[in-house]
């Protein structure tokens, strides 16, 4: 008997920039599933109503992007990750209950595991730049891997201080002008700001790290950011933002369609080609 078609979507306002349809429809084809992944442009005012009718509209779940990630958390039963991060980006049904998680946590860790195996072994000090939603996912992920000390550097110091309240004493808030001093002792440097994105300001940073340091950038457009380029030129090990983007999609696909997909070189090339357009 032919299985009923399953559908998932990305909900955002706007949603046109999202690469999720490209990624999920690639996997749907690769695994030969009777399924479809769509794009849904929904305003903040209409979001709660859309989610209430998600199943009636034929969806087994969804990704959620800006500006709906906090609202998605409030409208669902979050797991520990979404709760800790304070934002949900993936929704799915179990029975009649709508559950949520934050797959940026898993995507960040899986990308580093794939690109720099053993990166977290004995990792004492990380420097995280940024204090937005992505930085919250990164800090939670690093704490899960028992990183002893996280210097959270942000332009707005007040925002950096909220991280200590949320995540505890292993997180040490720091001012933007303290960054260079902190980099010398860092074994992992993470850019979780929007700096370095195509069309925006670049990240101006003096990468005076130890030779064993690892550098990762969440920004994926451009494909190779100035930070990643500089780190590679200095011989440091790196993991880039596209890798995280692909790995964060794995869990949603598994939850909706029952297959845990692989992040392949072919998929990466497809997304890179789309970004170059
Ligand atoms: P967000 O909530 O808007 O936070 C932006 C952060 O950037 C804040 O810490 C902000 O500092 C900082 N910032 C912005 N302009 C700055 C400037 N001129 N100088 C210094 N700091 C500046 O954004 P987000 O959702 O956390 O996302 C951050 C980045 O991660 C984005 O590029 C996003 O695309 C990327 N991301 C990638 C993935 C992936 O899978 N690769 C997943 C999630 C996010 P203030 O607090 O001082 O304003």
Q: Which atom of ligand 1 is nearest to the CA of 104?
A: 42
pLDDT at 249 over 60: yes
Q: Which atom of ligand 1 is nearest to the CA of 243?
A: 41
How many angstroms does the Cα of residue 159 sit away from the middle of ligand 1?
Answer: 12
Q: What is the pLDDT of residues 211-235, one digit of tens each?
A: 999 999 999 999 999 999 999 999 9
Calculate the average pLDDT of the chain. Answer: 97
pLDDT for res 21: 98
How many angstroms does the Cα of residue 195 sit away from the middle of ligand 1?
Answer: 7
pLDDT at 2 over 90: no
Q: Are 6-103+249-276 and 105-240 the same fold in CATH? A: yes
In CATH, which superfamily holds the domain spanning 105-240? NAD(P)-binding Rossmann-like Domain (3.40.50.720)
Mean pLDDT along residues 160-187: 97
Mean pLDDT along residues 39-67: 97
- Which of 93-102, 186-195, 203-212, 245-254 has the lowest average pLDDT? 203-212
Instruction: Please choose from 194, 196, 223 the residue to mutate so as to test ligand 1's pocket, defined by most ligand atoms within 8 A of CB.
Output: 194
Let me know: does 102 contact 125? Beta carbons within 8 Å.
no
The answer to whether residue 229 is catalytic is no
For residues 210, 213, 219 and 220, what is the CA-based torsion angle, rounded to 10 degrees?
Answer: 120
pLDDT for res 4: 84
- CATH T-level assignment (fold) for domain 6-103+249-276: Rossmann fold (3.40.50)
Measured distance CA(66)–CA(9) in Å, rounded = 14
Measured distance CA(20)–CA(143) in Å, rounded = 27
CB burial string 61-77: b at 16+ within 10 A, e below: bbbbbeebbebbbebbe
For ligand 1, atom 40, which residue shows the shortest CA distance? 245
pLDDT for res 1: 57
Q: Which atom of ligand 1 is nearest to the CA of 136?
A: 26
Query: Ligand 1 pocket: which residues have CB below 6 Å?
Result: 104, 107, 130-135, 154-156, 159, 192-195, 197, 201, 218-220, 241, 244-245, 248
Handedness of CA 113, 198, 72, 26 (dihedral sign): negative
How many angstroms does the Cα of residue 233 sit away from the middle of ligand 1?
Answer: 24
First-residue to last-residue Cα distance in the chain: 41
pLDDT at 7 over 70: yes
Show Cβ contacts of residue 245 under 8 Å, excluding neighbours closer than 6 positions: 19, 23, 107, 220, 271
How many angstroms does the Cα of residue 2 sit away from the middle of ligand 1?
Answer: 44
Let me know: does 144 contact 163? Beta carbons within 8 Å.
no
Q: What is the pLDDT of residues 87-114, one digit of tens each?
A: 999 999 999 999 999 999 999 999 999 9
Mean pLDDT along residues 63-70: 96
Instruction: Please choose from 18, 132, 226 the residue to mutate so as to test ligand 1's pocket, defined by most ligand atoms within 8 A of CB.
Output: 132
Catalytic residue among 69, 161, 229, 277, which?
69
Let me know: does 218 contact 191? Beta carbons within 8 Å.
yes
Domain-by-domain residue ranges, the chain? 6-103+249-276, 105-240
For ligand 1, atom 20, which residue shows the shortest CA distance? 155
Binning pLDDT at 50, 70 and 90, where does residue 174 land? very high
How many angstroms does the Cα of residue 48 sit away from the middle of ligand 1?
Answer: 25
Measured distance CA(150)–CA(188) in Å, rounded = 9
pLDDT for res 189: 98
């Amino acid at each position: 008997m032919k299985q009923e078609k399953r559908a998932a979507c990305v909900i955002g306002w706007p949603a046109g920039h999202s690469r999720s349809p490209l990624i999920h429809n690639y996997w749907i084809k690769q695994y030969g599933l009777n399924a479809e992944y769509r794009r849904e442009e929904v305003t903040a005012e209409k979001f709660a109503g859309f989610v209430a009718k998600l199943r009636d509209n034929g969806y087994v779940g969804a990704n959620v992007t800006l500006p709906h990630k906090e609202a998605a958390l409030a409208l669902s039963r979050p797991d520990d990750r979404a709760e800790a991060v304070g934002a949900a980006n993936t929704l799915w049904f179990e029975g009649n209950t709508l559950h949520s998680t934050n797959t940026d946590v898993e995507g960040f860790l899986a990308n580093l595991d794939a690109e720099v195996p053993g990166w977290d072994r004995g990792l004492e000090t990380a420097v995280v730049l940024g204090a937005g939603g992505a930085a919250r996912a990164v800090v939670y992920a690093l704490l899960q891997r028992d990183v002893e000390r996280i210097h959270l550097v942000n332009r707005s110091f007040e925002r950096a201080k909220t991280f200590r309240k949320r995540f505890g004493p292993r997180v040490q808030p720091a001012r933007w002008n303290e960054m260079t001093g902190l980099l010398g002792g860092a074994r992992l440097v993470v850019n979780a700001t929007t700096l370095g994105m195509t069309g925006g300001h670049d990240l101006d940073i003096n990468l005076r790290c130890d030779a064993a340091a690892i550098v990762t950038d969440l920004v994926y457009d451009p494909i190779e950011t100035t930070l990643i380029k500089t780190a590679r030129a200095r011989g440091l090990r790196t993991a880039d933002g596209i890798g995280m983007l692909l790995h964060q999609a794995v869990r949603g696909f598994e939850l909706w369609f029952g297959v845990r997909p692989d992040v392949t070189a072919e998929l990466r090339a497809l997304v890179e080609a789309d970004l170059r357009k």
